Amino acid sequence: MINKRWSSAVLLGLLTATTLAGPVPALADDRAEPPTEPPRVQLVLDVSGSMRATDIDGRSRISVAQQAFGEVVDALPDETQLGIRVLGATYQGKNKQQGCLDTQQIVPVGPVDRTQAKAAVATLRPTGFTPVGLALREAAKDLGTGTTARRIVLITDGEDTCAPPDPCQVARELAAQGTTLVVDTLGLAPDEKVRRQLLCIAAATGGTYTAAQSAEDLTDRLKQLVDRARDTYATIPAKVDGTDTCPGAPLLSPGVYTDRETFSEHRWYRVPVRPGQELRASVSVALDRPVNPDYGVLLRATTADGRELVRGVDAGSGRTDVVSTGLRWSAGDDAERAEGTDPTPTAGAPSTVTTVCLVVSNMFSPRAGTAADPGMPVELTVDVVAASSAPDGPDLGRGWVLLLLLALAGLLTGLVTGLLTRWWVATWRN
Amino acid sequence: MRIRWATAAALIAAGVALTPGTALAAPTPSPGAVTVTRAGTSYLTATPVAAGQPVRVAASTGEYLYWSFPAAAGEIHEITATVTLAQNRNGRSTWSVEVFDGLRRRQACTAGAQTPTADASARTVGIGCTMRRVRPWAEPWSGDPLPGTYYVRLAVVDVPEPDLGLPIDVDLLVSTTDDAGSSADDGRLEAALVPPTNAGTVVDAEPTVAPESDGDDGWNLSLTGWLPEAGSRWIWTTAGGMLAAVAGVVGFALTRRPAIR
């Protein structure tokens, strides 16, 4: 029963959102429409000389990786488009400059020809240098631009021997380019420098790091990551640029947005809210780089003239991926009574729309050597739904005390009436 | 959407039917519930689960795992998780399960080991969180738990760096331990806290068109505005009135008796 009521409430919210969005009438349709793009994922395999080492279950790293790739290709869901890029696979010489340009796409991103892909992987022999940064950059190009999220899975056993470009810096640049790109990393060697580097790449793009210790680990994890590409590729927020003051800030309709905010920066947005509507906003700031252990995020809603309406705040310490908070605010009756909050009243009738300013600020402090630019990823969710009225006090009663009270009151009334009647009859007779 | 809610409701109902009324009983998965073998990596990609639906997923130490579940007014949810850790670890690790509502606001746990620490030799670590009862309505300015989507985030919050990336297995169960239902007196949320997931659009100009009148402007003969909602209070009050009338007659009769004598 409650759930049914919910679904109608959600429908009502959708309707309201559509009404509000005025110029964008197709909004409600957008919510239901499935993306037409297939999920795209690129596997990037390190084929540098160190992959010859035989330290995974007594087998060489490359043979374990080849077996895992074969199984992943076999189990690949039909709609997923997979590409494979290798690095350090061909150049056998000692010239670093030349060796560091050694990366090729051996299977182009697209519908996979399983036999061909497996054959291409099987012929790989460990050879050259490890240009991870360049390979990442090229892999992002291979995946192309589009409206959906894309994933890169990087499998390597050694740290980048070709920096610059520093692979972590490359990952951060790619993540900041606007298309949602997630790099998951798999380390094949228990080496501290490799781990640090892969952790940094993963953190910069919101990906994960896994230390593969056995062939089974590697295969299972690869399959999981490729499946994840299919599960998560459709959800991609719209990019928006918040301003540093409220006037002129972008006007947002319900939906999910992404932005970047650096340390000590404030980003302003505006949301129009009608009387009888409730504004809901939530924000997540991702920690994609090393920061000091204590941090927080603050989301405030103010009127156009700076009066604070409500705030949401959250803080924490220790390891985390995002810090998030949210707020609700409803345009009450008093706002309707010409609060004067609308900064641009149109000629003629004054507008009844309250423009609420949202400001996102963060309380992160960079560690020594942490780059400030580009800013940290901000995810902002805005929704405008029907406001919920406060419940009134009940008009009727309930409970045994009420029954007792009413019965006693009735009894007393009966007694008094009876006595009065007796007294009146006696007096009248006399 | 409607179908999803219906299934969720059915699963919740199954969970309630199975779970004993006391919060002390160990939560068990609903019979016939399909085990979820996935986890999301962010709020937007959180894997939806229903109460009573077991989750079993392989992951890496240091990963942030997200699930979401629907909650209705009057329910108390309990989250229990067991993390099977890798061997040959370097030191102690602290794990944490955090719950956020549909607006990504942190929700408190009233009971349960929310952030347990596992020794280097421990094989498993148990994590638990019992949430507050979901309220049917709350002021916009409050952070009380409201009906809607809830997010669960499981992650390691403190770990020696060499242990990051090691494989783990996570078992998680969200269960409804108590359902008090909701009364009309406590108000109602017009729209559940279910966040939108569509990409937003930046509007060029402020919408200045007056909201279309929805028929409320004319005089309405409907009594629903000021008549209290149907409910047990009507029965109690009516019964009280009748009782009062009977008591009144009895009282009146008591005063008459001496006159007859």
What are the 10-residue block averages of pLDDT along chain A, 430 residues in total? 47 41 36 63 86 81 87 84 84 74 82 85 83 86 77 83 80 79 85 86 88 85 85 76 90 91 92 90 91 92 91 91 92 50 41 86 88 86 89 82 94 92 85
Is the omega angle on the peptide bond into residue A164 within 30 degrees of 0, that is, cis? yes
Closest Cα in chain A to B258: A422
Under 8 Å CB-to-CB from B113, ≥6 apart: which residues? B126, B127, B128
Residues B170-180: pLDDT tens digits? 999 999 987 77
Residue A360 amino acid letter:
V
Question: Is the CB of residue B40 less than 8 Å from the CB of residue B144?
Answer: no
CB-based contact B207 A23, cutoff 8 Å = yes
pLDDT at B186: 79
Residue B16: pLDDT over 80: no
Element (H, E) at A190: none
User: Least CB-CB distance to A209: which of B165, B192, B194?
Assistant: B165
CB-based contact B42 A17, cutoff 8 Å = no
Percent of chain B residues topping a pLDDT of 70: 79
- Cβ-Cβ contacts under 8 Å, A390 against chain B: 137, 139, 187
pLDDT at B2: 46
Tell me how crowded residue A331 is: count the other CB atoms within 10 A of its CB: 24
User: Least CB-CB distance to A387: which of B63, B64, B190?
Assistant: B190
**Would you state the structure tokens that stand for residue B7, as one six-digit string?**
């299934």
- Cβ-Cβ contacts under 8 Å, B49 against chain A: none
Under 8 Å CB-to-CB from A422, ≥6 apart: which residues? B255, B256, B259
Taking the C-alpha atoms of residue A177 and residue A150, their distance in angstroms, rounded to an integer, is 13
3-state secondary structure of A198: helix
Average pLDDT of the segment spanning B240-261: 81
Sign of CA dihedral A395, A396, A401, A405: positive
β-pair partners for A382? A255, A281
Q: Number of CB pairs < 8 Å for A and B?
A: 342
Mutate to test the interface with B, among A151, A210, A269 (most CBs of B within 10 A): A210
- Cβ-Cβ contacts under 8 Å, B133 against chain A: none
Closest Cα in chain A to B105: A325
Question: Is the CB of residue A210 less than 8 Å from the CB of residue A268?
Answer: no
Please give, rounded to a whole number of angstroms, the shortest distance from the CA of A118 to a CA of chain B: 26
3-state secondary structure of A352: coil
- Output DSSP code: residue A291: B
pLDDT at B114: 92
Residue A261 amino acid letter:
E
Our measurement of the distance from residue B150's CA atom to the centroid of its chain's CA atoms, rounded to an integer in Å, reads 7
Within 13 Å and on the Cβ side, how many CA atoms surround A161?
Answer: 22
Q: What is the 3-state secondary structure (H, E, C) of B201-243?
A: CEECCCCCCCCCCCCCCCCCCCCCCCCCCCCHHHHHHHHHHHH
- Cβ-Cβ contacts under 8 Å, B208 against chain A: 346, 351, 353
- DSSP state letters, A359-390: EEEE---BPTT----S-EEEEEEEEEEEPPPP
Tell me how crowded residue A395 is: count the other CB atoms within 10 A of its CB: 12
Sign of CA dihedral B1, B6, B7, B8: positive
Please give, rounded to a whole number of angstroms, the shortest distance from the CA of B100 to a CA of chain A: 9
- Cβ-Cβ contacts under 8 Å, A320 against chain B: 64, 155, 157
- Across chain B, what does the average pLDDT equal? 81
CB-based contact A387 B208, cutoff 8 Å = no
A213 lies within 8 A of chain B by CB: yes
Taking the C-alpha atoms of residue A379 and residue A373, their distance in angstroms, rounded to an integer, is 17
pLDDT band for position B95 (cuts 50, 70, 90): very high
- Cβ-Cβ contacts under 8 Å, A272 against chain B: 203, 206-207
Residue ranges with strand state E in A218-349: 238-239, 251-252, 255-261, 266-273, 277-286, 294-302, 308-317, 322-330
User: Least CB-CB distance to B251: which of A195, A349, A412?
Assistant: A412
- Cβ-Cβ contacts under 8 Å, B207 against chain A: 20-23, 272, 353
The β-bridge relationship of strands A59-60 and A54-56 is antiparallel
- Cβ-Cβ contacts under 8 Å, A188 against chain B: none
User: Least CB-CB distance to B140: which of A2, A22, A310?
Assistant: A310
User: Least CB-CB distance to A3: which of B72, B139, B201?
Assistant: B72
- Cβ-Cβ contacts under 8 Å, B165 against chain A: 187, 195, 198-199, 209-211
Helix, strand, coil in percent for chain A, rounding step 5? 35, 30, 35
User: Least CB-CB distance to B208: which of A182, A346, A418?
Assistant: A346
Q: CA dist A343 to A21, A308, A348, Å?
A: 19, 16, 15
CB-based contact B206 A355, cutoff 8 Å = yes
pLDDT at B208: 63
pLDDT at B221: 54
Under 8 Å CB-to-CB from A177, ≥6 apart: which residues? A140
**Would you state the structure tokens that stand for residue B261, as one six-digit string?**
């004598």
A199 lies within 8 A of chain B by CB: yes
Q: What is the 3-state secondary structure (H, E, C) of A56-87?
A: ECCEEHHHHHHHHHHHHHHCCCCCCEEEEEEE
Taking the C-alpha atoms of residue A15 and residue A12, their distance in angstroms, rounded to an integer, is 5
Closest Cα in chain A to B8: A3
CB-based contact A253 B200, cutoff 8 Å = yes
- Cβ-Cβ contacts under 8 Å, B10 against chain A: none
Residues B212-246: pLDDT tens digits? 444 444 455 555 566 776 778 889 899 999 999 99
Question: Is the CB of residue A44 less than 8 Å from the CB of residue A85?
Answer: yes
Q: CA dist A253 to A178, A238, B20, Å?
A: 20, 11, 45
Closest Cα in chain A to B71: A3
B90 vs B256, residue with greater confidence = B90
Taking the C-alpha atoms of residue A337 and residue A112, their distance in angstroms, rounded to an integer, is 63
B8 vs B137, residue with greater confidence = B137
pLDDT at A234: 67
- Cβ-Cβ contacts under 8 Å, B232 against chain A: 398
**For A107, phi and psi rounded to 5 degrees?**
-130, 115
Residues B112-139: pLDDT tens digits? 999 999 999 999 999 999 999 999 999 8
- Cβ-Cβ contacts under 8 Å, B186 against chain A: 391
Please give, rounded to a whole number of angstroms, the shortest distance from the CA of B96 to a CA of chain A: 10
Q: Which of A357, A345, A390 is nearest to A279 (CA)?
A: A357
CB-based contact B41 A208, cutoff 8 Å = yes
User: Least CB-CB distance to B248: which of A318, A394, A411?
Assistant: A411
Taking the C-alpha atoms of residue B216 and residue B214, their distance in angstroms, rounded to an integer, is 6
CB-based contact B195 A381, cutoff 8 Å = yes
CB-based contact B139 A390, cutoff 8 Å = yes
Residue B191: pLDDT over 70: yes
Element (H, E) at A93: none
- Cβ-Cβ contacts under 8 Å, B102 against chain A: 282, 326
Please give, rounded to a whole number of angstroms, the shortest distance from the CA of B25 to a CA of chain A: 26
CB-based contact A407 B247, cutoff 8 Å = yes
CB-based contact A213 B167, cutoff 8 Å = yes
Which ranges constitute the DSSP H helices of A109-207? 114-122, 132-143, 167-176, 192-205
User: Least CB-CB distance to B206: which of A272, A282, A283?
Assistant: A272
Which ipTM score applies to this complex?
0.81
